[in-house]
Copies of this chain bind each other. A is one copy, B any other.
C-alpha cells in the first residue's frame, strides 16, 4: 500500500481565484522568540488551493461542511484521462465514453493536464471547462464526488455549480487536485476530509490516494 499526494503545497502568496482572499502564511513566533517554538499564522479563503465545495457554496439552503457525512470523503475512486488544451470544452462525450465507471455513488477524478498551470495566475484563466450539458450528464449519473485538476468545473460557474450542488444531486466537488497523472488506471481509495469550518462553504483538503 502506498500513498499519492493529490494536494498542491500551500505557500505564502500562492495566487487565489480572482476576488478570493490572498493566501498568507507567516511566522507568528519562532524558536528564537520568547515562545521558543515555531507557530505560523494563516490567512486564506475556504476555496484556496486543493479544496472541496460544500453545497452551501452556491445553494443558500444547501449542506454546510458540518452537515456532510464523513463517508462522502473516503472510498473507492477512479481517474479518467481527459487531456485538454487551454480553454477547451469538456463535453458529455468526454465523460460518456467512460460510462461504465460513472455509476451511482462513484468517486471520479478527471485529469485534463491543467495542473501544469498551478501556482500561476494563468491557472485561473482559460482553463478547460465543463459544459452545462456535461454537468447535467454527471448529475444524472448520481456520482458521489467529482474531482478535477482545474480550479473550478466550468466557466459557467453559477450554472455548473448549481447543477452539481443541487438538493437532489449533492455531489462533492473537489477542485485543484495535483498529480492525477500519477494515479493508476485501476480503482484506488480516495481520501479527502475537509476541515470542519462549521456552518461554512468549503475547505482546503489534503487529498490523498491510497493505492495497493
List residues of chain A with CB under 8 Å of any chain B CB.
3, 5, 7-11, 19-21, 25, 28-29, 31, 35-47, 56-58, 60, 66, 69-71, 74, 157-158, 161, 191, 193-202, 204-206, 208, 210
Contacts and interface: CB of A to CB of B under 8 A. Distances in A.
Contact of A40 (B45, B60, B66): B45
Query: What are the 10 tightest A-B residue pairs by CB atom distance, in nearest-first order?
Result: A9-B198, A3-B70, A193-B206, A38-B201, A21-B41, A40-B46, A9-B196, A40-B200, A31-B60, A43-B43
A58 to B, nearest CB: 5
A147 to B, nearest CB: 16
Nearest to A9: B198
B25 A197 contact: yes
A178 to B, nearest CB: 10
Contacts of A204: 195
Contacts of A56: 38
Contacts of A58: 31, 36-38
25 contacts: A9-B66, A10-B196, A10-B198, A19-B35, A20-B28, A21-B28, A21-B39, A21-B41, A25-B200, A31-B60, A36-B58, A37-B58, A37-B201, A38-B56, A38-B201, A39-B47, A39-B201, A40-B202, A41-B44, A42-B45, A42-B46, A74-B210, A193-B208, A195-B204, A196-B206
A29 B70 CA distance: 26
A38 B157 CA distance: 13
Nearest to A56: B38
Nearest to A201: B38
